Amino acid sequence: MSAGDGRAAEELLALVYGELRRIAAVKMAGEAEGHTLQPTALVHEAWLKLAGNRAPGFDNRAHFFSCAAEAMRRILVESARRKQSLKRGARPERVELAEWHAILSPPPDEALAVHEALDRLAAKDPVSAELVKLLYFAGLTMEEAAAALNVSKRTAEGRWTYARAWLRQVIAGGAWLSAK
């Protein structure tokens, strides 16, 4: 793909489409009926962001899925922002982050709060921020996320505990709004 071979992009998509579709389906399972963004559309939009008009270079499988998680995160955040902009005068409310396996499709306000705080966490601890993206936005299991980051499950669980506590503290009381 990085050499500009269009066929390579098609072959990569064929290889990972099923897994990307599964991740997107998990993310969209909790969405309200009539939601305009469907799992297939989420995969296609993420793919367009990944492979767009430039020739992306992925170092390995973990790097690819990390980029895919980031693309899905941005798409879901954009969708949440659009929904929130329709609610004139809407103010985000304080949210508590649930356990990782319960966070599959966050409400728009929660997704925005986590997104804003996640940028600050990435500056402080990029690996923990990447773990949050994989678990929270891409819907990977702890085992899958640990494998993608090339760390043990125990290490990933420790980082997840730290990241959740850090994000909870930043998000609490709307502190995330002033964190820009």
The top-scoring range by mean pLDDT among 49-53, 92-96, 118-122 is 118-122
Question: What pLDDT shows up at residue 39?
Answer: 78
CA-closest candidate to residue 147, choices 61, 25, 23: 61
98: pLDDT strictly greater than 60: no
Largest CA-CA distance found in the chain, in angstroms, rounded = 50
What pLDDT, in 10s, does the model give residues 114-147? 778 888 899 999 999 999 888 877 778 899 899 9
Give Cβ neighbours of residue 58 (< 8 Å, ≥ 6 apart).
1, 64, 67
Region 44-66: mean pLDDT is 76
Question: What pLDDT shows up at residue 128?
Answer: 93
Please indicate whether residue 44 or residue 122 has the higher confidence score (pLDDT). Answer: 122
Question: What pLDDT shows up at residue 108?
Answer: 62
pLDDT band at 96; cut points 50, 70, 90: low
Residue 32 structure tokens:
């309200």
pLDDT band at 104; cut points 50, 70, 90: very low
8 A C-beta contact, residue 105 and residue 31: yes
Q: Is 147 left (phi over 0), alpha (psi -120 to 50) or beta?
A: alpha
The top-scoring range by mean pLDDT among 7-11, 48-52, 57-61, 148-152 is 148-152
Please indicate whether residue 92 or residue 131 has the higher confidence score (pLDDT). Answer: 131
Q: Is 73 left (phi over 0), alpha (psi -120 to 50) or beta?
A: alpha
